Structure 1
Amino acid sequence: MDDGRGDSVLLASLASGNEGVARRAREGLREARYHAVGPLLSAFKDGWPEEVRKKAREVLDVLTGDLIEALKGSDRNLRRKAAEALGEIGDGRAADPLAERLGDRDRSVRMAAATALSKMGDGRGIRFLFSALGSRDEVVRIHAIRALVDAGDAVVPELRKGLRDPNFLVRCGSAIVLGENRVREAVPDLIEALGDSVASVRMDAAVALGKIGSSEALSALRKLAKDPDATVAYYANWAIEKIYRRKG
């Protein structure tokens, strides 16, 4: 899968009246494995005719089985790429095999499997990512935050609870995700988090409130602007300014 033009030719070839051409296109896409997922999925959003979509579905169906099998391989990069591709496809057959990879010996594979499951709305992946917010490994935390941002509304209840988690890293991560997704229903929880005993939690809650832009938070943010921690006070003022700008 090298460029958009080549991808388009392959997709068009799937529905070719020449069986030899169509077969070579199917074989080429299957051999490309995870590289083929993006082009195949594009058949469902780029105005392709129904016949091409039908053939793309057939290839994706076979490819899903290949990728599930690849999850068991010895190559960690292939396992990771397979997990990522299965998350994009979203086929329910991959849920249990992906869940098994949550215990993979390689960190990147574990995170890819959790992210894929979260995209499929599978609670096992969401719980894994939520737990990863509390990791001492910064790379793991950043990956978990990004994945939970992408997960959208499905994780909001857990994130609101996360603002009261015993682990301050979970509280920080929860605030960051809620802010990135502009979750207005979490404003009362974030205002409460402004009183957290840990400065980094207060800071992340202030930033989240600034991004959400709720006037409801102004009073609490004005108090926080006098915080003894200079960084917290700075971001409280930043959030206040953001909210006023939003109000126009």
Structure 2
Amino acid sequence: MINGLVSALGGSDANVRRYACDALGKIVEKAVTMEVICALVNALRNSDADVRRNSCAALEKVSGQAATSTVVNGLVDALEDIDVGVSSKACEVLSIIGEKAATIEVINGLASALGVCNANVRRHACVALGKIVEKVTTMELIYALVNALRDSDADVGRYACVALGKISGQETTIGVINGVVNALADADVDVRANAYVALGKFSEKGAIIEVINGLVNALQDSNIDIKIGACKVLEKIGRKAVTIEVINELLNAREDDIFVGRSAAGKALGYIVQDVATVIVMNGLVNAAEDTNAVMKNGAFQLMGKMADTGYPNEVVNELLDAFAESEAGLIRLNSAASQNMDKKRFTDQVWNALLEASTDRQLQNYSDAEQQLEQILTAFPFFCNIQYDIITKSLCRIEAHWASNLF
């Protein structure tokens, strides 16, 4: 009977071919032979669309045994079928075969499906690749998914982001990361959301350097949405994102003409500095504090204020005093930042000495100026009143001695 049905697939009558294909689909699960499978593959090229659809449906039922080059190539060709039902069904069958046997042929076939005209086929391919990519990954597949991020169909871009997020850290290249970074500016909110998730997963899987480099480049992008997206990812990464390049680019981003861009950069910096106060962060902020740009300088000082509860190194205290002691408004800002953020118990002798060093290093002209400078420091930090009187006296004497030595 099977031989008769196979023969009928080559007949001239379209109805006969249709019924023969349908009948083969019903019995093929019980009697699978290579002759039957090859006949069904040949039927994918039949002139009748119903025959081609029924052939796809029949091959789906034997998907476990159908992972051969002949079947896969036939289904890949069917992806370009002018009949939407045929091309969609062919992609669906390829997806099922891929879940059971993720061969290179199947993966490449699905990757090629991302380039067909039918958006429904591209969607099915992305979803299927998202299920397969954790098992087997090829560079062709990765770049196909990166290209799919720019698909005109938002669902395709969304599913491509999800699939890329499942790729292991070892396979995550600069090209992949930059592709996902660019997706941060996609018009579709779900594509952007999935891009954030994908970048976060890349960093979790060990590709943190590549991710940070991609995000640093994104902070220089003229597209405000990419900048904002990069800020949000850096905010999520937190501690791992602490490099001088990141600090500097986020400080630069605070100069953006668009408020939402400045706000996103400031928020990301706030999360990073609150999460970890390292020498890298301090150095980045100290360098920024010397910048001639007022926005950069003020941003650095505000962030130093947030870091105050970790205890300032001497160079940071010096920078703060040099900048803020120039005006009464500056001292008010410094006092506010310190009083809100600094834990008094952790305000050590080291910090106190740094404040005094900052005063004596100014090459003061007379003792009264030194007293005034110390008064400014005490005004800036009201809780200094708890410091023992003899410490203040010794400090004044040290300033006086420094002044006297400069007279001769």
Q: Report the TM-score range of the alignment, normalised by the length of the smaller protein.
A: 0.5 to 0.7
The correspondence of residues 14-163 of structure 1 with structure 2, limited to 5 A, is: 63-66=63-66, 74=86, 76=88, 79-80=91-92, 82-83=94-95, 86-87=98-99, 89-92=101-104, 94-102=106-114, 103=116, 105=118, 106-115=121-130, 118-119=133-134, 120-153=136-169, 154-162=171-179
1:184 aligns with 208
- Is 1:99–1:117's contact at 8 Å kept on the other side of the alignment? no
Q: Distance in 1 between matches of 2:151 and 2:123?
A: 14
Which secondary structure state, in structure 2, belongs to the residue aligned with residue 181 of structure 1?
A: helix
Q: Unpaired segments of 5 or more residues in structure 2? A: 1-28, 31-61, 79-84, 278-408
> Secondary structure in 1 aligned to 2:257?
coil
Distance 1:226 1:88 in 2: 53
237, 242, 263: which one aligns with 1:215: 242
- Counterpart-to-counterpart distance in 1, 2:232 and 2:94: 36
Q: CA distance change for structure 1 residues 141 and 231 in 2, over 3 Å: closer, same or farther? A: farther
| Structure with larger Rg | 2
Give the letter for the 1:145 counterpart.
Answer: C
Identity of aligned residues (%): 19
Q: Deviations over 1:171-225 (max 9, x none)?
A: x979743344224212233223211111011111212222222121223213323
Cα 1:206–1:84 change in 2 (3 A) is farther
| Secondary structure of residue in 1 paired with 2:151 | coil
Report runs of 4+ in structure 1 exceeding 6 Å deviation: 172-175
Q: CA RMSD in A?
A: 3.9
Could you tell me how far apart the structure 2 residues matched to 1:104 and 1:64 are?
A: 28
Q: How many residue pairs are counted as aligned between the two chains?
A: 187
Q: Distance in 1 between matches of 2:273 and 2:97?
A: 42
> With CA pairs under 8 Å and 6+ residues apart, which has the higher RCO, 1 or 2?
1
Query: TM-score under structure 1 normalisation?
Result: 0.58
Distance of 1:163 and 1:75 partners within structure 2: 28
In the alignment, the residues of structure 2 paired with residue 88 and residue 226 of structure 1 have an alpha-carbon distance, to the nearest angstrom, of: 53
The answer on 1:200 being equivalent to 2:225 is: yes
1:98 to 1:65, Cα distance in 2 relative to 1, 3 A: farther
